[in-house]
Amino acid sequence: MIMSLTVEKTRYEHVALDAKGVPVIAGTNMKVIEIVVEKIAYGWSPEELYFQHPHLTLGQIYSALAYYWDHQEAIDRDIEKRLAFVRQARKTEGQTPLAARLKSKGLI
């Protein structure tokens, strides 16, 4: 496991800010936003997140989620910014060769 270099502690026991000010789960390289996106996208409970990430503790997961709920507006803006980047990249790149093949076969 790669350890992140945390620069600043937060008031959340298991969340720290990295050198770029990004909230990460302390002692790991997992960003809080990664846990949040999985919770939103898949509707996973903290227990399911723990099942999917057995290298994390439930305490780390709950702390990451608490950080999100207390900073929801800023993190939601970051998520939207990332989604906009992906949408733009898809427009710019066009259809992938795999997608073209699947579409030509009527599979998508």
Q: What is the DSSP string of the chain?
A: -PPP-EEEE-SSTTEEEETTS-EEETTSS-BHHHHHHHHHHH---HHHHHHH-TTS-HHHHHHHHHHHHHTHHHHHHHHHHHHHHHHHHHHHH-S-HHHHHHHHTT--
Whether the pLDDT of residue 3 is over 60: the answer is: no
Whether the pLDDT of residue 100 is over 60: the answer is: yes
The verdict on pTM exceeding 0.95 is: no
Structure tokens at 58: 């439930």
pLDDT tens column, 10-45:
899 999 999 999 999 999 999 999 999 999 999 999
Q: Which domains does the chain have, with CATH numbers?
A: 6-104 (1.10.10.10)
Cα-based distances in Å from 93 to 41, 84, 89, 90: 24, 14, 6, 5
- Please, which pLDDT band fits residue 5 given cuts at 50, 70 and 90? low
31, 4 contact by CB (below 8 A):
no
